[in-house]
């Protein structure tokens, strides 16, 4: 199997009826203005990634650098598969970091960042995430916070609140949602840690961030934090 075979399969699976930009801002000047999709279904993307994950990193990097979002998605899913099934973890991690600006969609970040960047950093220095959180690039900032999901799943709650603090005043709605989501995941496992963050920052949190963060609280507690904001 090679990249040309994959490209042929991808072209054969395109379907305009599957193209759906409802959850992406594609207007002029919006973050997804240049988003291109050919309508490969979610199921087909998963199947192709599992079938072609043995492509070498250069081939997957070429696919990731395509302008077509479907191709990027398959490349990232294949990288996740390769990361899980081979010993090339460091190489995949480094390639991912080298191509962060190509991972230019919230969906692309969310299917891959915590499974590669977060997982790789579980037992390593995490300063790269703080550097990404301070980036001017929307996707690098989202990668920083979403990567902490890997830590959260392992009961490691130190970095999510710290990175959330860095992103607290960010103007992008996609960052508000991602931070709120990760804080909620912390709270699902240790509500005291989440509430410590909320008590300190609730008045500065954007409304969307707060609503995502407290989504799983009971009615009384949700109302309490909304009132304090």
Instruction: Give the per-residue pLDDT at 26.
Output: 73
Q: pLDDT grade, residue 98 (50/70/90)? A: very high
How far from 2 is each of 56, 121, 218, CA to CA, in Å? Answer: 9, 30, 52
What string of DSSP letters covers 127-139?
HHHHHHHT-S-HH
Q: Which residue has the tokens 């008045």?
A: 203
Q: Give the pLDDT confidence of 139-155 residue by residue, as tens digits.
A: 999 999 999 999 999 99
Give the global pTM.
0.94
- Residue 24, pLDDT above cutoff 90: no
Give the per-residue pLDDT at 21: 72
Provide CATH code, domain 112-229: 1.25.10.90
Q: Rounded distance, CA 73 to CA 88, Å?
A: 20
- Residue 203 structure tokens: 């008045």
Averaged pLDDT of the chain: 95
Model confidence pLDDT, tens digit, residues 104-124: 999 999 999 999 999 999 999
Over the stretch 50-81, which tens digit does the pLDDT of each residue have? 999 999 999 999 999 999 999 999 999 999 99
Domain boundaries, the chain: 1-101, 112-229
């Amino acid at each position: 199997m090679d990249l040309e075979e994959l490209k042929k399969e991808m072209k054969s699976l395109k379907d305009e009826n599957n193209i759906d930009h409802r959850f992406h801002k594609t207007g002029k000047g919006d973050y997804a203005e240049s988003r291109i999709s050919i309508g490969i279904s979610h199921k087909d993307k998963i199947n192709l990634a599992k079938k072609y994950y043995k492509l070498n990193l250069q081939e997957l990097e070429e696919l990731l650098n395509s302008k077509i979002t479907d191709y990027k998605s398959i490349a990232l899913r294949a990288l996740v598969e390769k990361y899980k099934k081979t010993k090339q973890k460091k190489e995949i991690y480094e390639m991912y970091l080298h191509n962060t600006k190509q991972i230019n969609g919230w969906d692309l970040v969310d299917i891959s960042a915590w499974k590669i960047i977060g997982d790789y950093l579980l037992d390593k220095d995490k300063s790269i995430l703080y550097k990404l959180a301070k980036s001017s690039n929307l996707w690098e900032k989202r990668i920083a916070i979403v990567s902490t999901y890997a830590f959260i799943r392992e009961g490691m709650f130190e970095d999510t609140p710290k990175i959330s603090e860095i992103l607290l005043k960010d103007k992008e709605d996609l960052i508000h949602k991602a931070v709120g989501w990760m804080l909620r995941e912390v709270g699902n496992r240790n509500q005291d840690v989440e509430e410590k963050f909320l008590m300190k920052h609730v008045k500065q949190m954007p409304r969307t961030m707060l609503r995502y963060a407290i989504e799983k609280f009971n009615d009384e507690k949700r109302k309490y934090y909304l009132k304090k904001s």
